Amino acid sequence: MLARKRILLIISGGIAAYKCLELIRRLRERGAAVRCVMTPAASQFVTPMSVAALTEDRVYSDLFSLTDEHEMGHIRLSREADLVVVAPASADILARMAAGMANDLATTTLLATDKPVLVAPAMNVRMWHHPITQRNLADLRALGVRQVGPGEGAMACNEFGMGRMAEPAEILAAIEAQFAAGPLKGVRALVTSGPTVEAIDPVRYIANRSSGKQGHAIAAALAALGADTALVTGPVNLPDPDGVRVVRIESARDMLAACKAALPVDVAVCAAAVADWRVARSATSKIKKPDTGETPTLAFAENPDILRTLSRPGKNRPRLVVGFAAETDHVLRHATEKRARKGCDWIVANDVSPATGTFGGDSNKVTLIDAAGAEDWPPLDKAEVARRLAARIAETLGKKP
C-alpha cells in the first residue's frame, strides 16, 4: 500500500521524537520514501544524523539555508510529497499551524503544502487538556487535518494521562488509511472486539470465552475497503490486523472510554463480548482465604452498555451502528428484541450454544437483522462474514446521507 509513496515527516520538539526512528524504519520497510524536516527543538531529542541514516536522505531544518533552498526550495519540499506527517506534533507546532504562522521551515512547509496533513500530537497532559490546544486542534481538524492519537499513559515528565504520542504502529496504520483506496475511503470506522476482563483483585478476574476473531476480522475487512479504522479490543491472542489502529483495554469501562475517544465515526460495529457486570468493589490487595473456611461473596455492579451508548441519538451518533447478539436459544426472537432495546441499526445474530463451536472457532452462522427484517447467511468462516458485512456497510453508507 505504501510502495513508492513519498512521506514528508516533520519532527517537532518532544521526547516522543525518538519514536520517529522506528516509524521511519517501518515506513521504509513498506517501500515508502521518507524525507524529514526537523525543528531546532527536535534536534535536541534525536540527532539529524540518525534520521538521515534511516531515511537515506538529507535532513532539512533551516528556512534560510542557501544550500537547502538551492537543492530543494521549501515549496518543492512541501509539494513533492504525497502526505505530510507531523510527529510528534507538539502543542507549539499545533498552535503555529492553527494560527497560520510560517516562522520556520516546518511551519512554512505546512502552510505551503497542497497535500493531506496528518498530525500525531504529543505533549504533557495539562497542555493537552488546555482549551487553547483543544481549540487549535478542532480548528485544524475542521480544515481537514487528520489526527492520530494521542493515547493515555505514563509520561516522560512523570505525570499520567492523555498526551502520549500514538505508537509507531498506530501512526503507520493512519498513514496506510490515508492511501487506502476502496468504497470506504474517507469513512471512519470503530470496531469493538474480544472479551473484557473485570478485576476481582490484583490477581483474579472475571472474563468470558470470546476469542476476538470475528471483531478483528471485521476491522481488517473495513480497513481493506479503505475505512480509517480504530479497533478497541480486550485481551486476545491475535495479531493486530493490517492498517488498523488498535487500542487495547481491559474492562468494559475502559472500552467505553476508548470508544468515546474514537468518536466521531461514520460506522460503529460492536462485536466485543462485554462483561455485563463487574465486581462492585474490586480489592486493591489479593483477597486471602480465611481460616474459617468461609467462601467470599462477590457483589456485582452493572457495566455500561457500549452499544446502547453509541446508539443514543445525538450529534456524535454514528450514521450506522451494528451490534451482535450472541444467543444460545430463540436466537431470532432475542436478537430482534435486542436490536430494539439497544437502539442500533443492525444486529448480527449468532448462535453461540456450545454445539455450534462459534465461540473461539473459525466459522460463524449469522442472521443479519435490520429494520426491514432478517436475512439468514449460510455458514461461513469468520473472515468471510466480515467481508460480507463490510461490503454491506459500504453499500449502505454509499446510499445513506
By the rule CB under 6 A, 326 interacts with ligand CTP: yes
In the complex, what is the shortest distance from the CB of residue 369 to ligand CTP, in angstroms, rounded to a whole number? 12
How far is 87 from 118, CA to CA, in rounded Å?
8
By the rule CB under 6 A, 218 interacts with ligand CTP: no
Q: Which is nearer to ligand CTP, 272 or 383 (CB)?
A: 272
By the rule CB under 6 A, 351 interacts with ligand CTP: no
Q: Which is nearer to ligand CTP, 5 or 278 (CB)?
A: 278
Q: Is 20 an annotated catalytic residue?
A: no
Closest to 25 in 3D by CA, of 45, 7, 44: 7
In the complex, what is the shortest distance from the CB of residue 335 to ligand CTP, in angstroms, rounded to a whole number? 8
Report phi then psi at 11, rounded to 5. Answer: -105, 115
By the rule CB under 6 A, 323 interacts with ligand CTP: yes
Cell 531546532 identifies what position?
Answer: 40
How far is 226 from 118, CA to CA, in rounded Å?
16
The three grid cell numbers given for residue 37, joined into one nine-digit string:
524536516
Q: Which is nearer to ligand CTP, 78 or 303 (CB)?
A: 303
Q: Which is nearer to ligand CTP, 175 or 197 (CB)?
A: 197
**Stretch in the footprint of ligand CTP (CB under 6 A) among 82-90, 129-137, 145-153, 323-331:** 323-331
In the complex, what is the shortest distance from the CB of residue 342 to ligand CTP, in angstroms, rounded to a whole number? 6
**C-beta of residue 340 within 8 angstroms of C-beta of residue 319:** no
Closest to 178 in 3D by CA, of 271, 82, 79: 82
Please identify which residue in 51, 244, 252, 383 interacts with ligand CTP, judged by CB under 6 A.
Answer: 252
Contacts of 298 (CB under 8 A, 6+ apart): 200, 279, 280
User: x-or-dash pattern for ligand CTP, window 268-287, by CB under 6 A?
Assistant: --x-x-x-x-----------
**C-beta of residue 145 within 8 angstroms of C-beta of residue 4:** no
In the complex, what is the shortest distance from the CB of residue 192 to ligand CTP, in angstroms, rounded to a whole number? 6
Active-site residue, from 36, 157, 259, 344: 157
How far is 90 from 249, CA to CA, in rounded Å?
26
**C-beta of residue 92 within 8 angstroms of C-beta of residue 106:** no
By the rule CB under 6 A, 228 interacts with ligand CTP: no
In the complex, what is the shortest distance from the CB of residue 338 to ligand CTP, in angstroms, rounded to a whole number? 6
Handedness of CA 392, 396, 399, 401 (dihedral sign): negative
In the complex, what is the shortest distance from the CB of residue 307 to ligand CTP, in angstroms, rounded to a whole number? 3
By the rule CB under 6 A, 359 interacts with ligand CTP: no
Bridge partners (DSSP) of residue 192 are: 232, 270
Restricting to residues 166-205, name those near ligand CTP by CB under 6 A. 192
By the rule CB under 6 A, 303 interacts with ligand CTP: yes
Contacts of 297 (CB under 8 A, 6+ apart): none
* 31 HSE (CA, 13 A, CB side): 6
Q: Which residues bind ligand CTP (CB under 6 A)?
A: 192, 252, 270, 272, 274, 276, 303, 305-307, 323-326, 338
Active-site residue list: 157
